[in-house]
Amino acid sequence: MSLKKIIDVGSVNSLLKKGIINKEGVRLIDCSFAVAPRPDWKEFEQEGYGEFKTLMAAPSPSRRLYQAGHIPEAVHVDLDIATYPSRYQRFQQYRADLFEKYAQMVGLNSKEHFIFYGKGAFGGMLFASKVAWIFKSYGHENISLIDGGFDSWKRNGLEVSTEDVKLPTGNWKAEDEFKKYVITFQELEAKKDGEENQFIEKTSEVNFLDSRIRGQFEGTQETGLDPHLVNGSRIKGFKNLPSAELLTKEGTLKSDDDIRSWMNKNGYVDDQPVITSCNAGIQAALLAYVIDAVKPSPVPPRVYNGSLKEMELRSPKKISEGPQHLPH
């Protein structure tokens, strides 16, 4: 089935009424996520890494959020199970062969079309776009994101379910497409033979897009960085395209034309590679997903799953330019 990358709630409701969801190659995936403190990465490495059966059986505030009400037939994917905490990243991605096991346990199959949505921030698209981008990085291209998420669904008076949907074990297979959709710290730091500049310094050749709110980018709001280690709030040459500005007051995406105009106004250069970043690769995934939808390119955006905090720990001199941080 061919569906757009961004899909409205009316189209999803039509699929439900026709009995297509979970029966004719379309899966509806709820990405409700309850933000919680970062787990201890060393402890998780010893006790939780890749233990999907145990993790799925454990009490989960995100699952409770899903069970409180969701679109009928939607199965839940928990970002805290789909990823793991590492030393530097809050949502580190698993190896493809491990993530594949989790997707199969959820009940997903390779040839299906996945429709993602969520609740809360950024029209319910914040964590949904992150999970969608994760699946893209494992080679799954048949993906849609519900514009406005669960709030838009409820606002339109559509049916809500509290059923904990369980699907039979799926046959989904992962491919390693990380280099196509994700960029690592090592790649940002790398230099090509004979070149003086690291990749991260090629800001005139690459759209390096910081998707954080303007206050954090400009240093007028707290970023969580240590002012004794770094002397600013952003990386020199990066452009600020806040993901929050993609949305209307109603929590749905602005028109494609408005988004393209906004991108160009904020320094986006057509036909240049795109790297998006933020505090944990979440807002960056939303920006990347929308750019991929409204300005499709043979070379898609790549998301940096780390943060300025990782830069601070690994290479503090990279973070400069901009006002000093607010005092702690």
Q: What is the DSSP string of 124-137?
A: GTHHHHHHHHHHHH
Options 165, 213, 278, 284, the catalytic residue: 278
pLDDT of residue 328: 30
| % of residues, the chain, pLDDT over 70 | 90
Whether 326 is in a domain gets the answer no
Q: Mark whether 145 and 204 lie in a shared domain.
A: no
Q: Mark whether 140 and 186 lie in a shared domain.
A: no
| % of residues, the chain, pLDDT over 90 | 77
Kindly state the tokens that stand for 148. Answer: 């406005």
pLDDT tens string 135-152: 999 999 999 999 999 999
Whether 327 is in a domain gets the answer no
**What is the residue-averaged pLDDT of the chain?**
91
273/226: higher pLDDT? 273
Q: How many domains are contained in the chain? A: 2
Q: Which H/E stretch holds residue 28? A: strand 26-30
pLDDT of residue 324: 37
| CATH number where 10 lies | 3.40.250.10
Question: Is the pTM here over 0.95, yes or no?
Answer: no
Kindly state the tokens that stand for 172. Answer: 């989904």
pLDDT of residue 17: 96
Distances (CA, A) of 286 to 51, 212, 229: 28, 11, 29
Examine the pLDDT at 323 and tell me if it is beyond 60: no
Name the DSSP class of 214: H
Boundary (domain end) residue, out of 152, 175, 198:
175
Q: Mark whether 166 and 222 lie in a shared domain.
A: no
Examine the pLDDT at 122 and tell me if it is beyond 90: yes
pLDDT of residue 38: 83
Instruction: Confirm whether 31 is a catalytic residue.
Output: no
204/317: higher pLDDT? 204
H helix and E strand count, the chain? 14, 14
Q: Look up the domain containing 84 and give its range.
A: 6-175
193/163: higher pLDDT? 163
Q: Band the pLDDT of 326: cuts 50, 70, 90.
A: very low
Neighbour order of strands in the sheet with 6-7: 6-7, 143-146, 113-117, 26-30, 75-76
